[in-house]
Amino acid sequence: MKYLVIFLLSWIFLTSGVNATEKYDLVLIDISSEADVHRILQSGIDVVKVKPGYYAEAIVRSDQWEQIYSLGFSFQISIRDIQQFYASQMTGDGVFGDYLTYSEAMNSMDSVHNAYPSIVGEKISLPNTVLGDTTWDGNYVWAIKVSDNVDVQENEPEALIIGLHHAREPISTSICIYFLHWLADNYGTDPDATWLVNNRQIWIVPMANPDGYIYNETSYGYGGMWRKNRRNNGGSYGVDPNRNYPYMWGYDNSGSSPDPSDETYRGPSPGSEPCIQSLMWLYQQHEFVTAIDYHSHGGMYLYPWGYDQIYTQDNWKFDSITNMMASANGYSPGTPWELLYPVNGGSIDWGYGDTSKPKVYHISPEVGTAFWQDEQLQSQLNETHLGNKITCWSAGLYLRALQINITEDRDGNLRADPGDTVDITLNLFNYSLDQNASGVNCHLLTDDPYVYVLDAQSSFGSIDLLNSKTSGSDIITIAFDPSTPSGHIVALTAVISADGSYQSTNDLKIRVGTPSSGFFDDFESGISNWSPEGIWQLRTNYSYSPTHSMGTGSYGNQQNISTTLINGVDFPTELIFWNVYDLEDGYDYGYVEVSSDEQSNWVSVKTVNGENHWSWSEETVDLSDYSSDHNVKVRFRLNSDWYVTGGGWYVDDVNILCGSSSDSIPSTPEPYSPANQSSTNNHPVLTVENSTDPNGLTLTYTYRIYQDSLMTDLVTEQTGVTQGSGGYTSWEVTPPLNANQTYYWRVYANNGYYRSYLSDQWCFSTTAGSVEEQDNQSVYFSCGPRGFNQFYLNLLQSGQVNIKIMDLTGRIVSEQQYNLTAGRHLRSPQELNSGIYFINVDFHNELIDQHQCFKFQLID
């Protein structure tokens, strides 16, 4: 309701004397123009969000109601005592709910360093010229570095990630710590994390304003609304750290305030605050190309200029890169004056505009829809994760394969099917903000046993910065085994190279055939499969097929309502649904969310916003990250703000496609002999360590031999090799291979239902097969009168020789070790029954490591 002046005066009278503890209310102030926003800002009111032509969302302290009255605007109190309101919504158990306290964040930095000291440096305190190295309250601004040679200042691009300029924005610290953990925990296993650590120097400052954060912790707890640092201004406390940077400091009194009691007080002089001096020192010690500085809230990506209504010369770059970040969360990109209001003395303007250091492409996300909402913590960590990766990628040259396009296939449906052969092109993107790429090539690799890559490589030439390019007529060709399970998802690795010794890899996926549907609902029998909230109902006014759908209808202000699948599905790979929606563009959103942990955490996998003209559109969501999980649930959630509403969101024909459990596939076999990159005869015995089957099924093995390292030129394939009983399985290559050539081989196990992944790629070089042609080998056989009952070791150098003899089942029946001089040495197997055996010979000295495997027959 709108408040009359007489009510306002009464309320001021009742509250003006309450000063023991600051209280804050969330107020919506009606506005009609940009000038109205400037008037509110100049009055000292803390505006946190603006909907042009409708309202300014403001945080009003109990001592500021006189300013509100003097402005003369109509207003509405959205939340009384917002600190108490936030506290009542807390879901976690700690002082800050699920958010980190100061000590928890600092301890987390220490624990990551202690666990990964080779890639995560020890945290350092950042100095300042006011107090040396502490803040006003004696705390420290800590920074930590992540890189492969973490103690060395390398010639690698540098990126910076900052949290908590403002003390009431705890999500910003959590995002920093989460990314730190992700980089370290996934190094060596996740290709993105590994590449970033190996090719970037990443600095993280989780808490730029420790004084204000600790004050919230000790004075208010969860929901504390203190924003500034804790400078004693003589009658009031605090400077807004994000108005204290020197560039365009104090440009006007709308973008910052000269009043020490205001929430946007810019401080007594440019860069006066120890915490800001610490950050500027870090900038000046390094050559950061990119920086991302987290705030909350509003769902925006802000970039310079902020101080006035003008664009930078690199506006197109900022627009491009923030739109890519927004693809993960639907945030609105733009300058502060476009999306909020002008800001001077801010981090993004100083980062980009200050000339005492290199230019930094600096971006500030405004995360979420409230300052304190720990129930959304995991979703917000996930939806901002791409922004962190892009910040680091774009600091230097980074090329990524984004999309697979099928241009031709055998049956003409432009879809990969079992038994199909497809031609594909790739789309590569150059994420760099300052480097073009030349001499770009890409080839595909896979560990999938159902796939034969027939032509693996494409050339792209040059790709300009922040541009994409397809491979055009330079196609890649892939064939799929006829026994490929329908709906099987093939994981591919794109290996990209460019001039200047550049190389990167990233994962791609392609689905073969159509998977089975684990769940389908066209709502013709009602919505009993779902648990709807609020206005989510069975609907007949809009439907895709034939007469019913599930939808919200027209919705109201401040809605946060969902409809959740009651019974989860196992091993989902893809969600397909049809929808229509009419949501206020940039303010009201529909989210598709997934949970695999009994609804403890929901992850947003799709965002809809705006309107699609009431025309049904099909949406496809990749769920392959959950393809190994049980009881995965899906929900549709609508979230709206104040004032403008819309016609709602309707969904129909919800289809969840499911695959099979990875728990059912055998483990991957490990190659054993001949040793990788060794020499052998032209009919070698290839041996692998046995796989294990999770269900105890009998395994057979398939061997593939290629004559190129990209594994496109298949020489021979041997299927159905019976597993050996002694821990090893062997196959003698027949017919003999060509002599004096290098071959590459891989193996997979098969339990009759599922195949393991292909083994690591090993290679060997062949020599000729007869004794006369093997004079340069370390071992060869001599025929005795009754068959192969002895063998010679022909050593060109002295060294240690280990001999291991196995029977046809792979069981080790004899092991011997010798220290022998150069020359010929006769050896006869002892205490063996007649039969066929494999012999592995390992030779080692200071110069040579050699491994060979042969088959021989022992006759009594």
Q: What pLDDT digit, counting tens, does each position of 538-572 carry?
A: 999 999 989 999 999 999 988 899 999 999 999 89
> What CATH code is carried by the domain that includes residue 777?
2.60.40.3080
Residue 720 zone, left/alpha/beta (φ > 0; ψ -120 to 50; rest): left
Give pLDDT tens digits for 438-450. 999 999 999 999 9
Clarify whether residues 777 and 654 are in a common domain. Answer: no
Q: Answer yes or no: is pLDDT of 239 > 50.
A: yes
Tell me what pLDDT residue 645 has.
Answer: 87
> Which 3-state string (H, E, C) describes 301-342?
EECCCCCCCCCCCCHHHHHHHHHHHHCCCCCEEECHHHHCCC
Clarify whether residues 696 and 755 are in a common domain. Answer: yes
pLDDT band at 824; cut points 50, 70, 90: low
How far is the C-alpha of 758 from the C-alpha of 747, rounded, in Å?
5
> What CATH code is carried by the domain that includes residue 548?
2.60.120.260
pLDDT band at 408; cut points 50, 70, 90: confident
Last residue of a domain, one of 491, 512, 533: 512
Which DSSP state fits 766? E
Count of structural domains within the chain: 5
Q: Answer yes or no: is pLDDT of 775 > 50.
A: no
Last residue of a domain, one of 480, 512, 544: 512
Clarify whether residues 109 and 55 are in a common domain. Answer: no
Q: Answer yes or no: is pLDDT of 273 > 50.
A: yes
Q: Is residue 93 part of a domain?
A: no
Within 8 A by CB and 6+ apart from 486, the residues are 417, 418, 512, 513, 514, 515, 516
Give pLDDT tens digits for 340-383. 999 999 999 999 999 999 999 999 999 998 999 998 898 899 99
Within 8 A by CB and 6+ apart from 155, the residues are none
Q: Is residue 87 part of a domain?
A: no
Within 8 A by CB and 6+ apart from 806, the residues are 687, 724, 726, 728, 730, 812, 813, 837, 838, 839, 840
Q: Is residue 476 part of a domain?
A: yes
Does residue 30 sit in helix, strand or coil?
strand
CA distances from 116 to 152, 188, 392, 396 (A): 16, 12, 20, 25
How far is the C-alpha of 552 from the C-alpha of 648, rounded, in Å?
5
Q: Answer yes or no: is pLDDT of 5 > 50.
A: no
Q: Answer yes or no: is pLDDT of 779 > 80.
A: no
Rounded to two decimals, the pTM is 0.83
Which residue in this structure is represented by tokens 């202690």? 114
Q: Answer yes or no: is pLDDT of 770 > 60.
A: no
Which of 177-186, 245-254, 606-615 has the weakest average pLDDT? 606-615
Beta-sheet strands, E only, within 412-475? 421-430, 437-446, 451-455, 457-463, 468-470
Look up residue 624 and give its two tokens.
């392959």
Clarify whether residues 243 and 212 are in a common domain. Answer: yes
Give pLDDT tens digits for 692-709. 999 899 999 999 999 999
∠ CA 251-256-257, nearest 5°, is 110
Tell me what pLDDT residue 853 has.
Answer: 65
Give pLDDT tens digits for 370-381. 999 998 898 899
Give pLDDT tens digits for 84-98. 999 999 998 889 999
Clarify whether residues 65 and 108 are in a common domain. Answer: no
Clarify whether residues 753 and 814 are in a common domain. Answer: yes
Q: Comparing C-alpha atoms, which of 602, 594, 580 is closest to residue 647?
A: 580
∠ CA 342-343-349, nearest 5°, is 120
Clarify whether residues 142 and 274 are in a common domain. Answer: yes
> What CATH code is carried by the domain that includes residue 414?
2.60.40.10
Clarify whether residues 253 and 114 are in a common domain. Answer: yes
The DSSP line for 822-858 is SEEEEE---S--SEEEEEEEEEE-SS-EEEEEEEEEE
Q: Is residue 793 part of a domain?
A: yes
Which residue in this structure is represented by tokens 């999309």? 403
Q: How many CA atoms lie within 13 A of 775 on its CB side?
A: 2
Domain that holds residue 369: 102-393
